Amino acid sequence: MVAKDSGDGWTVRVSNRKGHLLRIEATFQCDLDAMSLLTLSMHPGVRTVVKSREVHKGCVVLVAEPLYKEVMLTQHTESDGVLRKKHEQALLHMTEDRRNPNAMTVTFKALESTSFKKYTGTTVYHPVTDPATGCVVGSRVESTQDVLPKGLPQWLTRMPLLGNMLREAGLKHVRTLLLELKAAVDKVVAHAAATGVSHAEAVEAVCDPTGEWAAKQAEELRQAAAQRQQGLRSFAFDDAWEEEEEEEEEDAMLEEGDEEGDGREGEEEGEEGEGGEDGQAGEGQDGSMGGAGSMGARGSREGEMCGGGCSRKAVAWRGEERRAYTGSDDVESGASDQS
């Protein structure tokens, strides 16, 4: 089940699409070069000559390079309802890639929409050359859109009457756009022929006679550059946080090693039982050396944080604390193991 139409330099085909409701395929060929046609199609002032074109607002530039651009924008559409016009809008992520002059692409995907559950599309711009001379004589566009409106099941297109109504509605909308685009292309070509300017200059003259959109585009590029700089600064802060987290992890590992050493000391003390003063003194010396050794590594860390002047004080103070509170350390170590 397919609805299709064609005219001078254009074709439209609307069919069913698995996973979507409709697939809309269109081709368009004209005398403009591919770069100029892409610029005309994407120009923010194109609605002065293509009245049925959707309104794009709130454009936020995500990536801006000489031949590559990513933006997020809100697309506003007026459609015919049962009793009145319906206003619909969709948040689109759009990519414009001109890096391959033989196949420049524009892709979009709806992130949010009041009317579409799925809405994606790809348009490819190809140059057309003269086989005899090899010179570029025009361009050809191939566009594909997949649509799944909200509240409409996919099997609806298989119904003879309703499915045909949906396909015809999509066909009508795209056909209107192509006819208006053809009229805009003819206007650009006529302006270039009359004034002797290039097609690219003629596009700007037709779509932006006052220079308003050129100024807005320059501001978008400036904002994109500022956002990239902010991104670099945020990455620097992220690196700093990662360094702090690494230091905290190292300190935690050292503390765990100290607690394990305390546990081993407690076990040795239990095995030896009540020894003489020499045994107790020996244990005290072992504990002091273990504390000084384990705390020395941590003290060197704290010495770095203090500027190198407080590591010996920290070691001495913590060594005294360890000798005084050996029993409480064992309890805390057991609690930490249970937790």
103 Cβ partners below 8 Å, 6+ apart?
A: 124, 125, 126
User: Helices 326-338 and 311-324, interaxial angle, to 10°?
Assistant: 90
Contacts of 159 (CB under 8 A, 6+ apart): none
Name the residue ranges covered by the structural domains of the chain.
2-222
> For position 265, what pLDDT does the model report?
54
| Burial class of residue 77 in the structure, from the number of CB atoms within 10 Å of its CB (0-12 exposed, 13-18 middle, 19+ buried) | middle
Strands 10-16 and 116-129: unpaired
Place of tokens 């050359």: 129
Give pLDDT tens digits for 19-75: 888 999 999 999 999 999 999 998 888 888 888 777 788 888 899 998 999 999 998
User: Which residue, 161, 121, 171, is CA-closest to 15?
Assistant: 171
CA–CA distance from 57 to each of 91, 246, 256, 324 (Å)? 10, 44, 57, 71
Q: Which tokens is 109 given?
A: 């995907």
**Rounded CA separation 147/29 (Å):** 24
R_g over Cα of the chain: 36
Query: Residues 51, 117: contact at Cβ < 8 Å?
Result: no
Q: Phi/psi of residue 122, each to 5°? A: -140, 135
Concatenated DSSP letters of 60-109: EEEEEETTEEEEEEEEEEEEE-SSSEEEEEEEEEEEEE-SSTTSEEEEEE
Q: Average pLDDT for residues 310-339, to the nearest whole number?
A: 44
Model-level pTM? 0.62
Q: Read off the pLDDT of each residue in 129-155 and give the average, rounded to a whole number.
A: 91
Using alpha carbons, list the distances in angstroms from residue 183 to 11, 141, 180, 188, 330. 15, 16, 5, 9, 87
pLDDT at residue 70, rounded to an integer: 95
Above 70 in pLDDT, residue 266? no
Give the CATH H-level superfamily of domain 2-222. START domain (3.30.530.20)
Q: Where is 301: in which H helix or E strand?
A: helix 277-306
